[in-house]
């Protein structure tokens, strides 16, 4: 073998790969700066320690690597939708002290999603109203708005349901949900609600036409991400008093096997979409891939 020819073959490939990764990181950097500016407008929502610079960076990186073919402007609303999901989670999971507190958050979010003006003292509602109003500027929203509203409804009610499970356990020693019940509540991850907003905002006519099918696959991807997240955040969840899939099974292997099954199901559902919606199929596949790598070392939240 003539080894002298190897560097010239390897170098261009490495340069090209690194250049593309650098481009995506630049896309994420723009997204992070926008998120930080946006969050600064809502100090009541994002002043807690978990909302550190790394959180904004992690959000922007996840979205940029999920849809690297998009521009920073196209990803701006998607990033902000993720930020709303984190703010919602923090309000319900950690700040709510009573079911009345949860009910106020849920009622406010549902009212805004359905078109109401947020209360002046409801920063979470104002954040959601901005997202709603931007989405409403897309012509397809007239037809697809119900899909977004439905995703918002599922997300906020799933977070409230988890709060009930956790609180009943702490207060009354009530049994935890089953593994299947917990996984069916994966809308509490706020993944599909972000994807619906992303597809309405950036999608072409074929994406909009197939939105229902994309949501079906997104729900399966969301379950994968729920479990991948749980495997990575088990110790943190114990410290924060969160539910976690590992608390609901006798053996971690059950969670690992369920992830394998769900990924196989995602592949089956994505295959028919690769023809008409190749970018959106790739977007969902890349969400699994990015999360599988990311959660090997860290998660999104900063310190409590």
Contact between residue 232 and residue 299 where contact means Cβ atoms under 8 Å apart: yes
Question: What 3-state class would DSSP assign to 37?
Answer: helix
Closest by alpha carbon to 127, among 186, 93, 77? 77
Q: Which residue has the tokens 């860290």?
A: 298
Closest by alpha carbon to 94, among 192, 243, 240? 240
Model-level pTM greater than 0.95?
no
Q: 66 pLDDT exceeds 60?
A: yes
pLDDT tens, residue by residue, 160-188: 999 999 998 877 778 899 999 999 999 99
Q: How confident is residue 301, by pLDDT bands cut at 50, 70 and 90? A: low
Q: Which residue has the tokens 């379950």?
A: 223
pLDDT tens, residue by residue, 21-61: 899 999 999 999 999 999 999 998 998 778 888 889 999 99
Contact between residue 227 and residue 258 where contact means Cβ atoms under 8 Å apart: yes
Q: How confident is residue 239, by pLDDT bands cut at 50, 70 and 90? A: confident
Percent of the chain with pLDDT over 70: 94
Options 3.40.50.300, 3.40.50.970, 3.30.930.10, 1.10.600.10; which CATH number does 11-294 get?
1.10.600.10
pLDDT computed for residue 287 by the predictor? 95
- ∠ CA 288-289-292, nearest 5°, is 85
Domain ranges of the chain: 11-294
Residue 3 makes CB contacts below 8 A (sequence gap 6+) with none
pLDDT tens, residue by residue, 223-234: 999 999 999 888
Helices (H), 173-300: 179-184, 192-202, 205-209, 211-240, 252-270, 273-276, 278-294
Using a 10 angstrom Cβ sphere, with 0-12 exposed, 13-18 middle and 19 or more buried, the burial of residue 6 is exposed
pLDDT tens, residue by residue, 119-176: 999 999 999 999 999 999 999 999 999 999 999 999 999 999 999 999 988 777 788 9
pLDDT tens, residue by residue, 204-219: 999 999 999 999 999 9
């Amino acid at each position: 073998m003539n080894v002298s020819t190897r560097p010239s073959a390897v170098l261009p490939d490495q340069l090209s790969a690194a250049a593309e990764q650098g481009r995506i990181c630049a896309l994420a950097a723009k997204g992070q700066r926008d998120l930080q500016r946006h969050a600064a407008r809502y100090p009541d929502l994002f002043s807690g320690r978990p909302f550190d610079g790394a959180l904004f960076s992690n959000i922007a990186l996840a979205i940029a690597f999920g849809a690297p073919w998009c521009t920073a402007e196209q990803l701006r609303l998607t990033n902000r939708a993720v930020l709303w999901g984190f703010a919602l989670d923090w309000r319900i999971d950690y700040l709510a002290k009573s079911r009345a507190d949860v009910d106020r958050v849920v009622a406010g979010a549902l009212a805004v999603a359905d078109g109401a003006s947020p209360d002046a003292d409801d920063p979470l509602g104002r954040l959601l109203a901005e997202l709603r109003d931007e989405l409403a500027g897309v012509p397809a929203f007239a037809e697809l708005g119900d899909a977004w509203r439905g995703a918002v409804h599922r997300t906020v009610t799933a977070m409230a349901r988890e709060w009930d499970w956790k609180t009943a356990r702490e207060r009354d020693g009530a049994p935890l949900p089953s593994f299947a019940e917990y996984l069916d509540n994966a809308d509490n991850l706020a993944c599909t609600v972000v994807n619906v907003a992303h597809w309405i905002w950036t999608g072409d006519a074929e994406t909009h036409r197939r939105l229902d099918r994309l949501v079906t696959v997104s729900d399966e991807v969301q379950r994968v991400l729920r479990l991948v997240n749980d495997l990575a955040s088990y110790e943190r969840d114990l410290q924060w008093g969160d539910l976690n899939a590992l608390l609901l099974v006798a053996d971690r292997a059950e969670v690992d096997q369920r992830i394998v099954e769900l990924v196989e199901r995602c592949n089956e559902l994505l295959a028919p979409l690769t023809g008409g919606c190749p970018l959106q199929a790739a977007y969902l596949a890349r969400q699994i891939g990015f999360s599988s790598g990311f959660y090997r070392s860290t998660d999104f939240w900063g310190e409590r």
